[in-house]
């Protein structure tokens, strides 16, 4: 039977702040992508609705800054903006 590190407060093994190091089961370590998927599926998400003009302007800025509008670049740009906003007082 797979073993997991004890989750805080007796929660099930896939608690929201799960990290790769928390998974002790050999099954998940045989496939790097299965374990990564289990961890990534528990990460926080925010859905932002934008009007079309703002959305297109944002994608244009991402393309200017990162070179294209791949999902990874859009995500990274949003995270950078959030971190910069949180650093402001």
Condensed to tens digits (0 to 9), the pLDDT of residues 55-81 reads: 999 999 999 999 999 999 999 999 999
8 Å CB contact between 4 and 23? yes
Q: What DSSP character marks residue 20?
A: G
Give tens-digit pLDDT for 22-41.
666 666 667 777 777 777 77
Domain count across the chain: 2
Range of the domain at 31: 8-40
> Residue 46 and residue 14: Cα distance in Å, rounded?
20
Comparison of pLDDT for 37 and 47, the residue scoring more: 47
25 within a domain of the structure (yes/no): yes
Question: Do 56 and 32 share a structural domain?
Answer: no
The phi-psi region of residue 7 (left if phi > 0; otherwise alpha if psi is between -120 and 50; otherwise beta) is: beta
Structure-token pair, residue 35: 């374990």
Question: Do 62 and 35 share a structural domain?
Answer: no
3 within a domain of the structure (yes/no): no
Tokens 């989750």 correspond to 7
């Amino acid at each position: 039977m797979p073993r997991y590190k004890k989750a805080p407060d007796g929660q099930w093994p896939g608690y929201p702040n799960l990290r790769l190091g928390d998974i002790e089961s050999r099954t998940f370590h045989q496939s790097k992508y299965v374990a990564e998927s289990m961890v990534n599926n528990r990460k926080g998400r925010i859905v932002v609705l934008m009007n079309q003009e703002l959305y297109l302007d944002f994608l244009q800025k991402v393309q200017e800054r990162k070179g294209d509008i791949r999902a990874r670049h859009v995500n990274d740009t949003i995270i950078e903006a959030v971190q910069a906003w949180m650093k402001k007082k």
